[in-house]
């Protein structure tokens, strides 16, 4: 081998060694880049999972809130429907009282009797209509005094006939709409 060939061989070996070194350095750098790329997506995935969980939680809470609002609105509509006659019932109570007072008076003559019969029929129609709407009289005479249903206007001493805390006399009838008191009964109570 000539000098030239030896030199060419040495250069070639040096070049191939340098290339191998560069290739291994590049390979190491590529591995590091791949590792960095893999690390970043993992943390991004964890962040995205956390965001997804947070959004799912918000969705479930919002869904529950909407369900609660719908239930509340349905209950309010039912209550409004149930007690829709409350104001009208309160306004009709004085008319009912007046018709009952008119019937309590004594009348003479055929014409007055027919007039009284008409008032009686009107009173019965009014009572029926009120009953259809859920308005009913609060039983009071002889009942145990209940401050939620009765208003004590006067007290009298208790007797054997009327024990303590018993309604002795009803001065004005009370009425309720289902479970709501429209007007408490005005009563005299034995003490």
Q: What is the mean pLDDT of each run of 10 residues along the chain (191 residues)?
A: 66 60 55 57 86 95 97 95 90 94 88 91 95 94 94 93 93 94 96 90
Contacts of 138 (CB under 8 A, 6+ apart): 149, 150, 173, 174, 175, 176, 181, 184, 185
What is the C-alpha to C-alpha distance for residues 187 and 191, in angstroms, rounded to an integer? 13
Query: What are the tens digits of pLDDT across the range 16-48?
Result: 655 555 555 555 555 555 555 555 667 888 999
pLDDT of residue 9: 72
What is the C-alpha to C-alpha distance for residues 140 and 137, in angstroms, rounded to an integer? 9
Are 66 and 99 found together in one domain? Answer: no
What is the C-alpha to C-alpha distance for residues 26 and 23, in angstroms, rounded to an integer? 5
Total domains in the fold of the chain:
2
Q: Which of 59, 82, 105 is where one domain is finished?
A: 82
Token output for 94 = 């004085």
The distance from CA 176 to its chain's CA centroid, rounded to whole angstroms, is 24
Are 22 and 36 found together in one domain? Answer: yes
Mean pLDDT for the chain overall: 86
Are 91 and 182 found together in one domain? Answer: yes
- The alpha-helical segments, DSSP class H, found in the chain are 3-82, 86-104, 110-132
pTM: 0.64
* Phi, then psi, of 165 in degrees rounded to 5: 65, 30
Are 166 and 120 found together in one domain? Answer: yes
What is the C-alpha to C-alpha distance for residues 91 and 158, in angstroms, rounded to an integer? 35
Range of the domain at 152: 86-190
Residue 170's closest CA among 148, 145, 191, 134? Answer: 145
């Amino acid at each position: 081998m000539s000098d030239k060939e030896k030199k060419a061989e040495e250069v070639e070996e040096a070049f191939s060694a340098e290339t191998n070194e560069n290739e291994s350095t590049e390979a190491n750098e590529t591995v590091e880049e791949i590792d960095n790329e893999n690390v970043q997506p993992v943390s991004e995935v964890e962040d995205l999972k956390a965001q997804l969980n947070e959004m799912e939680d918000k969705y479930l809470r919002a869904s529950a809130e909407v369900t609660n609002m719908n239930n509340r609105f349905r209950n309010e509509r039912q209550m409004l429907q149930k007690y829709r006659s409350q104001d009208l019932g309160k306004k009709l109570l004085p008319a009912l009282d007046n018709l009952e007072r008119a019937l309590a008076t004594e009348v003479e003559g055929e014409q007055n009797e027919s007039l009284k019969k008409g008032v009686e029929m009107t009173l019965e129609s009014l009572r029926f209509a009120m009953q259809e709407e859920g308005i009913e009289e609060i039983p009071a005479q002889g009942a145990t005094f209940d401050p939620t249903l009765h208003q004590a206007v006067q007290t009298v001493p208790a007797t054997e006939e009327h024990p303590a805390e018993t309604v002795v006399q009803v001065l004005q009838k009370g009425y309720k709409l289902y479970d709501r008191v429209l007007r408490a009964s005005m009563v005299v109570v034995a003490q």
